[in-house]
A and B are shown apart, each in its own frame.
Chain A
Amino acid sequence: MQTKDINEQIKWAQINKDVLRSMENPRMAYWVAVGTCLAMLMCAVVAEIYQYQVGMGPANLNWPQMWGLYIATFIFWIGMSHSGTLLSAILHIVHADWRKPIYRFAEAMTTFSLMTAGLFPMIHLGRLWNMYWVLPYVSDRGIWPNFRSPLVWDAFAIFTYLTSSAMFLFIGMIPDLAICRDNAKGWRKKLYTALSLGWSGTDRQWRHFRKTYLLMACFLIPLAVSVHSIVSSDFAMSIMPGWHVTSFPPYFVAGALYSGCAAIITLFILLRYFFRFEEYMTIPILEKTCKLTFVIAMAWSYLNLIEFAATWYGHDTAAKEVLWDKFTGPYSPYFWAMLFFGSVLPFTLAFEKLRRHLPTMFVVSLLLNVGMWLERWMIVSPTLSLSYHPIAWNVLWPSMVQWAIVFGSFGWFGLLFLVFVKVFPSVSMYEVKEMVYHRRRAHVEDQAKYFHRRLSDRQPATDTPSP
Chain B
Amino acid sequence: MSLKNILENWSNYRRDREAGGHHEYEHMWGMAIDLNKCIGCNACAVACYAENNLAIVGKEKMTKKQGMHWMRIERYWGEPDLDKLSQSSSQYQEHGANFLPMMCQQCNAATCEPVCPVAATFHTPDGLNAQVYNRCIGSRYCSNNCPYRLRYFNFYSYYESSWPAPLHLQLNPDLSVRDKGVMEKCTFCIQRIRVAKDKARMEDRVEKEAAVIKVGDSTFRAAAGRGKLEDMEFQTACQQTCPTGAIVFGDMLNPESQVRKLWDGHQVSLGKTKQTKQNPEKRGYRVFEALNTDPCVMYMERVREV
User: Which residues does A use to contact B, with CB under 8 Å?
Assistant: 54-57, 60-64, 66-67, 121, 124-128, 130-131, 133-134, 138, 140-152, 155, 234, 237-240, 384, 387-392, 394, 396
Docked-complex contact A56 and B180, CB < 8 angstroms: yes
Residue among B72, B137, B152, B181 with most chain A CB within 10 A: B137
From 15 to 37 in chain B, residues with beta carbon under 8 angstroms from any chain A beta carbon are 17
Residue among A127, A144, A145, A148 with most chain B CB within 10 A: A127
Contact of A63 among B111, B116, B138, B153 (CB under 8 A): B153
Docked-complex contact B114 and A148, CB < 8 angstroms: yes
| Alpha-carbon separation in the docked complex, A220 to B135 (Å) | 34
Q: Determine whether B53 belongs to the interface, using a CB cutoff of 8 Å to chain A.
A: no
| Alpha-carbon separation in the docked complex, A418 to B143 (Å) | 39
Docked-complex contact A126 and B181, CB < 8 angstroms: yes
Q: How far is the CB of A236 from chain B (nearest CB, A)?
A: 12
Docked-complex contact A133 and B137, CB < 8 angstroms: yes
Q: Determine whether B92 belongs to the interface, using a CB cutoff of 8 Å to chain A.
A: no
Docked-complex contact B118 and A126, CB < 8 angstroms: no
Q: Determine whether B154 belongs to the interface, using a CB cutoff of 8 Å to chain A.
A: yes
Contact of A151 among B13, B74, B141, B148 (CB under 8 A): B141
Docked-complex contact B154 and A152, CB < 8 angstroms: no
Docked-complex contact B154 and A391, CB < 8 angstroms: no
| Alpha-carbon separation in the docked complex, A237 to B142 (Å) | 12
Docked-complex contact B117 and A126, CB < 8 angstroms: no
Q: How far is the CB of A58 from chain B (nearest CB, A)?
A: 8
**Known contacts A145-B117, A151-B117; A62 and B140 CB within 8 A of each other:** no
Docked-complex contact B149 and A125, CB < 8 angstroms: no
Docked-complex contact B149 and A126, CB < 8 angstroms: no
Contacts of B61 in A (CB 8 A): 57
| Alpha-carbon separation in the docked complex, A239 to B147 (Å) | 8
Docked-complex contact B154 and A134, CB < 8 angstroms: no
Across the A-B interface, give the 3 residue pairs with the lowest CB-CB distance, nearest first: A126-B138, A126-B181, A142-B9
**Known contacts A125-B139, A239-B291, A394-B65; A140 and B5 CB within 8 A of each other:** yes
Contacts of A240 in B (CB 8 A): 144-145, 147
Q: Determine whether B303 belongs to the interface, using a CB cutoff of 8 Å to chain A.
A: no
Q: Determine whether B219 belongs to the interface, using a CB cutoff of 8 Å to chain A.
A: no
| Chain B residue, CB-CB nearest to A384 | B144
| Alpha-carbon separation in the docked complex, A152 to B141 (Å) | 12
Q: Determine whether B136 belongs to the interface, using a CB cutoff of 8 Å to chain A.
A: yes
What are 10 A-B residue pairs whose CB atoms fall within 8 Å in the complex? Answer: A62-B155, A126-B140, A128-B181, A133-B117, A140-B9, A146-B117, A155-B117, A238-B144, A239-B111, A394-B65
| Alpha-carbon separation in the docked complex, A64 to B143 (Å) | 8
| Chain A residue, CB-CB nearest to B12 | A142
Contact of B149 among A57, A64, A150 (CB under 8 A): A64
Q: How far is the CB of B280 from chain A (nearest CB, A)?
A: 23
Contacts of B12 in A (CB 8 A): 142
Docked-complex contact A66 and B143, CB < 8 angstroms: yes
From 134 to 187 in chain B, residues with beta carbon under 8 angstroms from any chain A beta carbon are 135-141, 143-145, 147-149, 151-157, 180-183
Contacts of B66 in A (CB 8 A): 57, 62-63
From 239 to 259 in chain B, residues with beta carbon under 8 angstroms from any chain A beta carbon are none
**Known contacts A56-B181, A63-B66, A391-B149; A127 and B117 CB within 8 A of each other:** no
Docked-complex contact A62 and B144, CB < 8 angstroms: no
**Known contacts A62-B64, A63-B67, A142-B9; A126 and B116 CB within 8 A of each other:** no
Residue among B6, B65, B111 with most chain A CB within 10 A: B65
Contact of A55 among B64, B119, B143, B156 (CB under 8 A): B156
